[in-house]
């Protein structure tokens, strides 16, 4: 299934060569970040037991991201919900960021990704990952890294503080394309 999507990206690239429009293959996903703290192991001096605050506040924001593992390019938005309207907003932003490229976006089959009301810009083609296969989506590695490095062992006073931390993390990866590439370019992706 994923090879078919990659092949479709190559076919789109071949078709677009005649028109001289570059094709960019991107993987897309969303993740929920909130005020329920995640306690993880950490380093501490010998004989010192680390203390981490635990917090259970059910307030969330959602990060949308699409990345190109081949060059480390990232598009991201922090939005209040996951639904068709927010997905359309994200696709519109991706289209605006790459107006002169055809985007082949590979994603899971969430209901809002396939909704009839979804507005898909002309320069974006959607392809689906097989059901129940998050391990095939490199964006999942980005979420894991953000949770480990930016959110573990932290308690936030407000949802705004969560969003500020999330934006800071995403901006870090926007400016660190080589780190993002090494995190997300799987060996089977070589074209």
CATH number of domain containing 20: 3.30.420.10
Distance of CA 62 to the CA centre of its chain: 10
Q: What is the distance between the alpha carbons of residues 170 and 78, in angstroms, rounded to a whole number?
A: 9
Inside any domain, residue 19? yes
Inside any domain, residue 76? yes
Domain that residue 67 falls in: 2-36+58-188
Q: What is the distance between the alpha carbons of residues 6 and 3, in angstroms, rounded to a whole number?
A: 5
- What proportions of the chain, in percent to the nearest 5, are helix, strand and coil? 40, 25, 35
For 122, the token pair is 């002309």
Q: What is the distance between the alpha carbons of residues 164 and 140, in angstroms, rounded to a whole number?
A: 21
Please tell me the predicted confidence (pLDDT) of residue 4: 61
* Band (188; pLDDT cuts 50, 70, 90): confident
Q: For the chain, how many residues are written? A: 191
Q: What is the distance between the alpha carbons of residues 124 and 137, in angstroms, rounded to a whole number?
A: 18
Inside any domain, residue 100? yes
Q: What is the pTM of this model?
A: 0.83
Reported as a single tens digit per residue, the pLDDT across 39-50 is: 777 687 888 887
Q: Is the pLDDT of residue 1 over 70?
A: no
Inside any domain, residue 172? yes
Inside any domain, residue 50? no
Query: 103-134 burial, b for 16+ CB within 10 Å, e for fewer?
Result: bbbbbbeeebbeeeeeeebebbbbbbbeeeee
Inside any domain, residue 46? no
Q: Structurally, how many domains does the chain consist of? A: 1
- Give the residue among 175, 180, 171, 172 at the shortest CA–CA distance from 70: 180
Q: What is the distance between the alpha carbons of residues 110 and 131, in angstroms, rounded to a whole number?
A: 9
Q: What is the distance between the alpha carbons of residues 160 and 121, in angstroms, rounded to a whole number?
A: 31
Q: With contact defined as beta carbons under 8 Å apart, do 117 and 84 qualify?
A: yes
Inside any domain, residue 70? yes
Q: Is the pLDDT of residue 31 over 90?
A: yes
Please tell me the predicted confidence (pLDDT) of residue 2: 57
Q: What is the distance between the alpha carbons of residues 4 and 129, in angstroms, rounded to a whole number?
A: 10
Inside any domain, residue 62? yes
Q: What is the distance between the alpha carbons of residues 11 and 85, in angstroms, rounded to a whole number?
A: 30
């Amino acid at each position: 299934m994923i090879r078919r999507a990659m092949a479709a990206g190559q076919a789109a690239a071949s078709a677009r060569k005649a028109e001289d429009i570059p094709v960019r293959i991107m993987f897309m996903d969303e993740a929920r970040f909130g005020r329920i703290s995640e306690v993880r192991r950490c380093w501490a001096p010998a004989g010192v037991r680390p203390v981490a605050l635990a917090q259970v506040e059910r307030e969330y924001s959602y990060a949308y991201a699409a990345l190109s593992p081949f060059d480390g390019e990232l598009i991201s938005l922090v939005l209040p919900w996951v639904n068709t309207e927010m997905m359309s907003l994200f696709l519109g932003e991706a289209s605006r960021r790459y107006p002169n490229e055809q985007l082949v976006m590979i994603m899971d089959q969430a209901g809002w990704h396939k909704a009839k009301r979804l507005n898909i810009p002309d320069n974006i083609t959607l392809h689906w990952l097989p059901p129940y296969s998050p391990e095939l989506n490199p964006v999942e590695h980005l979420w894991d890294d953000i949770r480990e490095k930016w959110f573990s062992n932290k308690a936030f006073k407000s949802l705004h503080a969560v969003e500020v931390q999330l934006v800071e993390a995403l901006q870090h990866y926007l400016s660190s394309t080589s780190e993002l590439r090494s995190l997300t370019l799987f060996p089977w992706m070589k074209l």
